[in-house]
């Protein structure tokens, strides 16, 4: 099997947009610029926050405006990012990005409305995907029946998506995105949850619908931060019968021998910022993994004994995917090749999307415009895809 033949996607959560007008401005200013610099059609992986979705549901003519802007900019859209519900560019986002969680009907209704909008943007003959939160933030307090509540909402959404298919002819699949320090974090946790989900779906006569419409968004940065073997991880998910509906081609920060590189730790401290959560993981020489929920200056300036003696650190900070080195810091770009190779071996082709949402908080030198940075990432990623699947 080959990789997806669809135009490579870039997620628009990189620029603000809590109104339709703001979304259209972002597309026209940044995404269109990137498309022109790339020199070929690209896909806009739209992030449509809850206020935008509400606006589109209340005023359906707005969907036509959005569709017209995509056509005018020579863009296509086949995937949405419904992970951030509210303002993803607020002063402080952090753990609030996981709210509402999947136990709440609001999360299901928002996701369904996203699917209804996407069904009207999809090119003819193209299936759609929607990425979403990994149930909840792990440190948050939860009732004993929390997972059961999530399963009820997810199976209800699967039925909703099945009805939408009947009504529109469009197949749209949910892609649950494991992330560090979330309820679905590691590959084993993801496998175990989907086993329970599908078992309950079978009991309710919904297994076929659940397997068709519910799957994973595999974010390479996230599993790299966990020090997982991403190629093996992808194979395990596929072998378990869990569909990978979307792959985020992303890179994290990597630091070797932090205890002997104080200048690198000093540079890492520059990545401490107040908006997004940047989970930090360390691998001890024994292979044990320890973590800190959010990168902070204290960790960089006076690491704990476990972190100081670790053989390597990785930090959940989405850095430009074309960069192998950022000053004294490395990136996990080398993991992208392993991930794409494993994805190319699947019996279907998941949607591929670059999702570097952190350009606005990235320290150091930046390109002259956001569109230029996006274009560099897309060209670099397309070249990597072409090496693995030359026919594309």
Model's pTM, two decimal places? 0.98
Report the pLDDT value the prediction gives residue 365, as an integer from 0 to 100.
Answer: 83
What is the extent of the structural domain holding 384? 9-251+332-388
Where residue 192 sits, what CATH number does that domain have? 3.20.20.150
Average pLDDT rounded to a whole number, residues 211-216: 98
Q: Is 261 exposed, middle or buried (0-12, 13-18, 19+ CB in 10 A)?
A: middle
How many domains is the chain partitioned into structurally?
A: 1
* Core vs surface per residue 312-332: b (16+ CB within 10 A) or e: bbbbbbbbbbbbeebeebbbb
Burial 89-105 (b: 16+ CB within 10 A, else e): beeebebebbbbbbbbe
Task: Report if residue 172 sits inside a domain.
Answer: yes
> Is a pLDDT exceeding 80 seen at residue 390?
no
Residue 290 lies in a domain: no
| Residue 235 domain-assigned (yes or no) | yes
Residues 313 and 236: their CA atoms lie apart, in Å, by 25
Which token pair is 146?
């929390």
For 215-241, write each residue's pLDDT tens digit: 999 999 999 999 999 999 999 999 999
Q: What is the pLDDT of residue 391?
A: 55
Q: Report yes or no on 157 lying in a domain.
A: yes
274 in any annotated domain: no
Dump pLDDT digits (tens) for 4-22: 999 999 999 999 999 999 9
Is residue 4 one of the residues assigned to a domain?
no
Residue 33 lies in a domain: yes
Residue 294 lies in a domain: no
Rounded distance, CA 92 to CA 6, Å? 35
pLDDT tens-place string over residues 266-301: 999 999 999 999 999 999 888 899 999 999 999 999
Question: Is the per-residue pLDDT at 63 higher than 70?
Answer: yes
């Amino acid at each position: 099997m080959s990789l997806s033949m669809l135009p490579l996607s870039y997620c628009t959560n990189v620029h603000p947009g809590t109104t339709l007008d703001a979304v259209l401005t972002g597309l026209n200013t940044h995404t269109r610029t990137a498309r022109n610099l790339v020199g070929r059609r690209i896909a806009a992986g739209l992030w449509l926050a809850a206020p935008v979705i509400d606006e589109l549901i209340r005023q359906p003519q707005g969907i036509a405006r959005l569709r017209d802007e995509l056509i005018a900019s020579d863009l296509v859209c086949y995937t949405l990012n419904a992970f951030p519900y509210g303002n993803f560019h607020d002063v402080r986002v952090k753990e609030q990005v996981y709210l509402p969680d999947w136990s709440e009907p609001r999360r299901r209704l928002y996701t369904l409305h996203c699917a209804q909008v996407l069904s009207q943007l999809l090119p003819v003959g193209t299936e759609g995907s929607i990425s979403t939160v990994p149930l909840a933030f792990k440190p948050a307090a939860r009732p004993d029946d929390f997972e059961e509540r999530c399963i009820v909402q997810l199976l209800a959404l699967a039925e909703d998506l099945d009805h939408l298919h009947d009504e529109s002819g469009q197949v749209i699949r949910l892609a649950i995105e494991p992330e560090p320090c979330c309820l679905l974090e590691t590959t084993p946790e993801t496998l175990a949850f989907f086993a329970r989900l599908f078992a309950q779906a079978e009991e309710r006569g919904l297994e076929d619908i659940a397997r068709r419409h519910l799957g994973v968004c595999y974010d390479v940065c996230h599993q790299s931060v966990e020090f997982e073997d991403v190629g093996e991880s992808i194979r395990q998910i596929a072998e378990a019968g869990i569909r990978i509906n979307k792959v985020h081609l992303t890179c994290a920060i990597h630091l070797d021998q932090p205890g002997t590189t104080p200048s690198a730790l000093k540079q890492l401290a520059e990545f401490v910022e107040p908006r997004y959560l940047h989970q930090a993981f360390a691998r001890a020489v024994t292979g044990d993994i320890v973590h800190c929920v959010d990168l902070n200056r204290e960790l960089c300036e006076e690491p704990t004994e476990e972190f100081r003696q670790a053989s390597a650190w990785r930090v959940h900070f989405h850095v430009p995917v074309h960069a192998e080195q950022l000053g004294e810091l490395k990136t996990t770009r080398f993991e992208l090749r392993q991930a794409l190779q494993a994805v190319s071996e699947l019996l279907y082709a998941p949607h591929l999307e670059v999702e570097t949402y952190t350009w606005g908080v990235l320290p150091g030198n930046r390109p002259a415009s956001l569109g230029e940075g996006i274009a560099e990432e897309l060209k670099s990623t397309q070249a990597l895809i072409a090496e693995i699947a030359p026919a594309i």
